[in-house]
Amino acid sequence: MTPGVTPDRAPSVLRVQAVLVAIALVAGLSIATVHELTRPLVQAQRGGLLGNAALEVLPGAVNYRMYARGADGSPELLQTVDGAELFVGLDARGDTVGVAIVASGMGYQDTIQLVYGLEPQQQRLLGMRVVASRETPGLGSLIVEDAGFVAGFSQVVLQFDGDGELQPLRMRDQARYERGEIDAITGATVSVRAVARIINRSLAEWLPVLRAHYDELQGDKRG
């Protein structure tokens, strides 16, 4: 018989540790190397995906400008899609058709990254696309695959209270759509809640920025 893994003679603790550390070191090094090599490819694809998703959630948009938030919180124009957080969608004439916002947060088992569109008056969503998620195939993954759920985001009217404060999106529990409600999906409750939470948090952050800087964002095209 061919000898197997080093047999019973108890090896010294040092040797055991040395083997474990050596294997872990090589493993770590190879993972770090491949990560460094593949990162530009992954980022380029993700960037392309974000741009495509932005065009999809802004009906009528054929082009966009990209922004990220600067140190003072105001949007800064970007030249590349790297790090873009906000897309201002432009139609064929160069008029603004809305803004698409990149948002992410924890899903059922990993981060969900999505892009949602907001109309210029900031009263209604125009659409939503999940760009990256690792939700359970067949269950949580329905937030990407359920066409009805995804299409429903083009009808969501935001709800504000008397003081103009945004009310969070909720899951619809009756047949009739009310303001600020999104569809629920059987089997994907946790993931749908995660999507609602991600959009709520992102809207709370971005609406004040958009209100303060909207003219500036629109103005860039004329300049």
Partner 1 sequence: MAESLLTADAEAESGTRRLRAGLWRENPILVQALGMCPTLAVSNTATNALTMGLATATVLLASALVISSLRRFIPQQVRLACFVLVIATFVTLTDMLIEAYALDLHRNLGAFLPLIVVNCMILSRIEIMASRQVPSVAALDALGMGGGFLLGLLALGSLRELLGQGALFGMHLMPAGFEPWQVMQLPGGGFFSLAALVLGFHALDRRWRTAEPAR
Residues that bind partner 1 (CB under 8 A): 1-8, 10-11, 15-16, 19-20, 23-24, 27, 30-31, 34-35, 38, 41-42, 45-46, 49, 109-110, 132-138, 141, 144
Whole-angstrom distance, CA of residue 130 vs CA of residue 206: 18
Nearer to partner 1 among residue 110 and residue 216 (C-beta): 110
For residue 35, the minimal CB distance to partner 1 (Å) is 6
For residue 52, the minimal CB distance to partner 1 (Å) is 12
Nearer to partner 1 among residue 35 and residue 211 (C-beta): 35
Given the structure tokens 């999505």, which residue do they identify?
Answer: 114
φ, ψ for residue 81, nearest 5 deg: -75, -10
Length of the chain: 223
Whole-angstrom distance, CA of residue 89 vs CA of residue 118: 10
For residue 171, the minimal CB distance to partner 1 (Å) is 23
Nearer to partner 1 among residue 10 and residue 92 (C-beta): 10
Nearer to partner 1 among residue 11 and residue 94 (C-beta): 11
Nearest to 118 by CA among 185, 199, 178: 199
For residue 124, what are the β-bridge partners?
Answer: 157
For residue 76, the minimal CB distance to partner 1 (Å) is 28
For residue 121, the minimal CB distance to partner 1 (Å) is 33
| Six token digits for residue 2 | 């061919």
What's the Rg (C-alpha) of the chain?
23
Nearer to partner 1 among residue 27 and residue 151 (C-beta): 27
For residue 107, the minimal CB distance to partner 1 (Å) is 10
Nearer to partner 1 among residue 85 and residue 135 (C-beta): 135
Q: Are 118 and 57 in contact (CB under 8 A)?
A: no
Q: Are 112 and 105 in contact (CB under 8 A)?
A: yes
